[in-house]
Amino acid sequence: MQSHTMELPRLIVVGENNMSEIGEFLFSLNKPKIVSLISGINVQKILKLKIEKSLKLKKIKFVWHTSKDNQVDSIKQIEKDVKKDHSNLVVGIGGGRSVDTAKMVSFNLDLPFVSVPTAASHDGMASPFVSVKTDKPHSIVATAPLGVFVDIDVIKKAPSKLLASGCGDLIANIIAVKDWQLGHKKTGEYYGMYSADLATMSAKIVMENSSKYSKEGLDARVIVEALISAGVASCIAGSSRPCSGAEHLFSHALDKIAPGKGLHGEKCGIGSIMMGKLQGQDWKKIVKTLKEVGAPTTAKQIGLDKDEVINALMIAQELRPERYTILKEVNMTKQRALNLAKSTGVI
Ligand SMILES: [Zn+2]
């Protein structure tokens, strides 16, 4: 059997109104003297003072870096700047982009990295994967975070559609795991039952509680923990396999065809409906769950037109030919794509 590496986060804190304890958290990881903080402008406006105060208490020096987008050039520039900090730790604070940037920069500079998500819109907070705009349309592998620090109070204040998008990214796991099983059967690739079950569990917790959420609102803490656990499932699998199948390829195809329309988790949720049907899963239950958590189930809701959906379905598998998914088993002609999207109510 081939050897298999599992790189996991060492310390994860999920608290409420605990941002003022971040200094202590970072200190407990590797007693840093200087940290490089990467975040967007909005996050800085809200959290800067609190974070600085907490760092000063532990005598940790800091340098802020502002992340603007996830284009390669912007990340390279931040990397150059961070190098000059001579810091012992890179911290990404934000909804996704800043965490991704920090993950990439720390990987390239061989520094430990800490993830501080301020929104729970996808499962990247604890995973070793980054979505950067490169020639590769899908995520690339970096390092798992050394620590993950979450203030649920901050997550709750973010727009609710972000948390709903996180649910879409979780539901995707049931499609991804089924694709992984198919790939294992067809190509003999490694399949990890433990990480597959762990990823499935994160999806199930949303599916089983969605009707409650539709009445009482989303439970931010449960969703954050499920997203962390999904990231850990990827760490254990040593690849994004348990959390990324054909529905993610569909989302990546849309990133290419219709950039800027819809959030990652929203697109994966819609993709899950259609791929679920192809896989013979209970796709109507996926629709029901997405509706109950307040995530979109139609192309129109995220501003996509019919042709964009059809084209995305047709090119999805080509974007990552080595990843065996249900789309390999279907000759996705224009007509078939149209029928699939129509019959599931996506268009
Ligand atoms: Zn995802």
Q: What's the CA-to-centroid distance between 235 and ligand 1, angstroms?
A: 14
Rounded Cα–Cα distance for residues 139 and 54 (Å) = 33
Q: Is 270 helix (H, G, I), strand (E, B) or coil?
A: helix
Q: What's the CA-to-centroid distance between 126 and ligand 1, angstroms?
A: 12
What is the structure's pLDDT at 143?
81
Q: What's the CA-to-centroid distance between 206 and ligand 1, angstroms?
A: 15
Residues 6+ apart with CB under 8 A from 311: 253, 257, 337
Rounded Cα–Cα distance for residues 265 and 245 (Å) = 13
pTM: predicted TM-score of the whole model, two decimal places: 0.94
What is the structure's pLDDT at 132?
63
Q: Which residues of the chain have pLDDT under 70?
A: 1, 131-139
What is the structure's pLDDT at 133?
61
Query: CA dist 290 to 154, 164, 168, 312, Å?
Result: 23, 8, 7, 21
Cross-strand pairs, 21: none
CA 316 to chain centre: 18
Q: Which amino acid is at 272?
A: S
What is the structure's pLDDT at 1?
61
Q: What's the CA-to-centroid distance between 60 and ligand 1, angstroms?
A: 33
Q: What's the CA-to-centroid distance between 123 and ligand 1, angstroms?
A: 6
What is the structure's pLDDT at 336?
97
Buried b (16+ CB within 10 A) or exposed e, 247-273: bbbbbbbbbebbeebbbbbbbbbbbbb
pLDDT in tens, 121-166: 999 999 888 866 666 656 677 788 999 999 999 999 999 999 999 9
CA 117 to chain centre: 11
pLDDT in tens, 23-78: 999 999 999 999 999 999 999 999 999 999 999 999 999 999 999 887 888 899 99
Q: What's the CA-to-centroid distance between 244 and ligand 1, angstroms?
A: 6
Rounded Cα–Cα distance for residues 106 and 344 (Å) = 42
What is the structure's pLDDT at 108?
93
Q: How many CA atoms within 13 Å lie on the side-chain side of 335?
A: 1
Rounded Cα–Cα distance for residues 342 and 206 (Å) = 25
